[in-house]
């Protein structure tokens, strides 16, 4: 399973990429705003450069399908490792699968985003999306079972040998990460604060503290013995 960082914060992206944990980065307009990446072009180019050749997902910012296509081509021209996030449908319910299909035909990788159901996953795969982002937290908000959506989707994609890989986003706790992994996610995209939380355990810290005390004691005994 791969781990992506769901962030536009340079420090966190570099931190988790340089230690070999992060296999890619995802953003969306809300993430860019939260992390103060107000200039989409400059911000995306910088992240793409730091993490190259790992993929960076950048999302379109329009409801208009023609504009979506133009934007996607422009965003993709910024760096070779940029993947374009296209929603399942625009905010007025117009499906965006034709855009996904066109971009993939042009060699531009697509992350079919804001997926909430197995049905949407099927359509995104048929349209040729390289990645399909299922929103764990938001599926749960509506009373859905995100674990079931993920395991059904992954089984179906693998059975029919689609190239699409499931990215689980909308992660709100470490438990979400672990359950998404158990459900068979190909990739989980994690906000950096939860990666840090995954690394930490109070008993690990206490055990390391005990080792430090004993190492000090052993050192003192060695010094005495050497006299
Ligand atoms: C990732 O690809 C998604 O855009 C992101 O995780 C969505 O998270 P949210 O539901 O917290 O907005």
pLDDT in tens, 178-212: 999 999 999 999 999 999 999 999 999 999 999 99
DSSP run (H or E) holding 107? none
Question: 52: which residues sit within 8 A by CB, 6+ positions away?
Answer: 79, 80, 81
Binding site membership of 189 for ligand 1 (Cβ less than 6 Å):
yes
Helix, strand or coil, per DSSP, at residue 225: helix
Structure token digits, residue 67 = 């504009």
Residue 202 Cα to chain centre, angstroms = 27
User: What global pTM score does this model have?
Assistant: 0.96
Helix, strand or coil, per DSSP, at residue 180: helix
Q: Which of 76, 55, 75 is nearest to 3 (CA)?
A: 55
Binding site membership of 165 for ligand 1 (Cβ less than 6 Å):
no
What would the mean pLDDT of 94-105 be, rounded to a whole number? Answer: 98
Binding site membership of 34 for ligand 1 (Cβ less than 6 Å):
no
Ligand 1 centroid, distance to 172 Cα (angstroms)? 9
Structure token digits, residue 26 = 């995802």
pLDDT digits (tens, 9 = 90+) for 134-159: 999 999 999 999 999 999 999 999 99
Instruction: Look up 85 and say whether it is catalytic.
Output: yes
- Taking CA atoms only, the protein residue closest to ligand 1 atom 4 is 28
pLDDT digits (tens, 9 = 90+) for 59-98: 999 999 999 999 999 999 999 999 999 999 999 999 999 9
Which backbone phi and psi does 8 adopt, to 5 degrees? -120, 15
Residues found in the chain: 227
Choose the catalytic residue: 34, 36, 45, 85: 85
- Say how many CA atoms lie within 13 Å of 50 toward its Cβ: 21
Fold of 2-200: TIM Barrel (3.20.20)
């Amino acid at each position: 399973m791969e781990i992506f960082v769901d962030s536009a914060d340079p420090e966190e992206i570099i931190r988790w990429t340089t230690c070999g944990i992060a296999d890619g980065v995802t953003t969306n307009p809300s993430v860019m705003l939260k992390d103060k990446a107000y200039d989409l072009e400059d911000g995306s180019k910088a992240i793409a450069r730091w993490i190259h050749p790992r993929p960076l997902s950048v999302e379109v910012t329009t409801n208009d399908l023609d504009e979506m296509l133009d934007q996607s081509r422009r965003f993709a021209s910024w760096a070779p490792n940029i993947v374009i996030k296209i929603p399942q449908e625009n905010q007025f319910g117009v499906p965006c699968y034709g855009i996904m299909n066109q971009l993939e035909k042009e060699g531009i990788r697509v992350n079919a985003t804001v997926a909430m159901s197995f049905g949407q996953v099927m359509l995104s795969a048929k349209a040729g999306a390289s990645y399909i982002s299922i929103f764990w937290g938001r599926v749960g908000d509506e009373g859905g079972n995100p674990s079931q959506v993920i395991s059904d989707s992954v089984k179906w994609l693998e059975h029919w040998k689609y190239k699409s890989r499931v990215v689980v986003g909308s992660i709100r706790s470490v438990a979400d990460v672990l359950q998404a992994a158990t459900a068979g996610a190909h990739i989980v995209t994690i906000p950096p604060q939860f990666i840090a939380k995954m690394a930490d355990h109070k008993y690990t810290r206490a055990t390391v503290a005990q080792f430090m005390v004993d190492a000090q004691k052993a050192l003192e005994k060695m010094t005495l013995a050497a006299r």
